[in-house]
């Protein structure tokens, strides 16, 4: 009895195996149409699928909050990095732009002064500004034909003179240096001869000393080099008179000047190659 049942079960199993395998073999190739029972079941599943889709969207939305948060954090970090890079590039661009403007001004000045001066462009490679001295170091030296005593200026006005020369560099004593002095006069009248010197402490202020008490000089006058010292050529702008002060004894007066050159923002300068050449220190 048990054996008979077992044989019956085996027969059913073999039949099912053959049927299912047959079905599978028949459906292994792509079919154009589904059977009616497949269509029926899938149609029956549709309402459930639509219903569950809403749940799926909510569930996906809930979990995507966490996954997207991480992705957003990463994106945020990457964007911050990019912003920093762009900011750096922008600063560089600004720097280049500023340099371009400066060089253009210098070039225009050089072109304008072509007949008058032999100008050599030089870049500042070091600065030494303190209460004791105001000097800068240029990237041009004796190999470029620079000698001690040459005038250094830019399109704004006088800067100083070459005080020491090395083969590949040179040192410039700036106007505000306490050792510096330049013969000057009032540009408009070409009169009033004096000496402009720095007080060694403030690079934004110069003073024109030894002026007679009745000298014809006023606030706002433009002061230029006189050329009488045989160090600096005449006619180079130095600064504008901002104040005049009489000495206690009333015999002389001092004019305070605001230099045209901003000594704290120097980048490129001109060396007047045909000035003060060979002058010994």
Q: How far is CA 79 from CA 53, 70, 73, 87, 166, in A?
A: 35, 14, 10, 12, 49
Please state, as a whole number, how many other Cβ atoms lie within 10 Å of the Cβ of residue 232.
29
Extract the tokens encoding 7. Answer: 């044989």
Distance CA 64, CA 44 (A): 30
User: Stretches 9-17, 164-172, 244-252, 253-261: which one binds other proteins (CB under 8 A)?
Assistant: 9-17
Q: Does 15 bind other proteins (CB under 8 A)?
A: no
Task: State which of positions 33-72 bind other proteins (CB under 8 A).
Answer: 35, 37-38, 41-42, 44-45, 48-49, 52-53, 55-57, 59-60, 63
Q: Does 9 bind other proteins (CB under 8 A)?
A: yes
- Neighbour-count burial of 248, counting CB atoms closer than 10 A to its CB (0-12 exposed, 13-18 middle, 19+ buried): exposed
Distance CA 101, CA 116 (A): 23
- Total residues contacting other proteins by CB under 8 A comes to 32
User: Nearest approach, Cβ of 39 to other proteins (angstroms)?
Assistant: 10
Nearer to other proteins, 20 or 246 (CB): 20
The binding track of 174-193 with respect to other proteins, each residue x by CB under 8 A or -, is --------------------
User: Nearest approach, Cβ of 61 to other proteins (angstroms)?
Assistant: 9
Which one, of 221, 214, 171, lies nearest residue 196 by Cα?
221
Q: Does 25 bind other proteins (CB under 8 A)?
A: yes
User: Nearest approach, Cβ of 4 to other proteins (angstroms)?
Assistant: 14
At 264 the three-state DSSP class reads helix
Which one, of 219, 74, 113, 225, lies nearest residue 158 by Cα?
225
Nearer to other proteins, 59 or 96 (CB): 59
Binding site for other proteins (CB under 8 A): 9, 12-13, 16-17, 19-28, 35, 37-38, 41-42, 44-45, 48-49, 52-53, 55-57, 59-60, 63
């Amino acid at each position: 009895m048990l054996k008979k049942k077992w044989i019956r079960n085996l027969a059913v199993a073999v039949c099912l195996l053959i049927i299912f395998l047959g079905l599978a073999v028949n459906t292994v190739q792509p079919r154009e149409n589904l059977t009616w029972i497949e269509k029926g079941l899938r149609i029956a599943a549709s309402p459930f699928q639509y219903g569950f889709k809403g749940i799926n969207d909510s569930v996906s939305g809930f979990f995507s909050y966490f996954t997207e948060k991480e992705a957003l954090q990463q994106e945020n970090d990457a964007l911050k990095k990019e912003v920093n890079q762009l900011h750096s590039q922008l600063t560089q661009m600004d720097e280049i732009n500023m340099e371009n403007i400066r060089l253009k001004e210098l070039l225009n000045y050089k072109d304008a002064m072509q007949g008058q001066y032999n100008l050599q462009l030089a870049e500042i490679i070091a600065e030494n500004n303190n209460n004791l001295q105001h000097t800068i170091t240029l990237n041009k030296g004796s190999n470029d034909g620079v000698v001690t005593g040459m005038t250094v200026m830019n399109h704004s006005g006088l800067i100083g003179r070459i005080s020491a020369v090395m083969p590949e560099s040179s040192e410039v004593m700036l106007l505000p240096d306490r050792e510096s002095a330049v013969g000057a006069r009032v540009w408009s009248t070409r009169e009033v001869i004096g000496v402009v010197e720095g007080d060694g402490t403030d690079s934004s202020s110069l003073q024109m000393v030894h002026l007679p008490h009745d000298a014809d000089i006023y606030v706002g006058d433009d002061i230029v080099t006189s050329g009488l010292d045989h160090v600096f050529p005449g006619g180079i702008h130095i600064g504008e008179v901002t104040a005049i002060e009489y000495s206690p004894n009333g015999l002389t007066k001092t004019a305070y000047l605001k230099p045209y050159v901003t000594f704290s923002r120097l980048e490129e300068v001109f060396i007047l190659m045909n000035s003060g050449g060979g002058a010994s220190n």
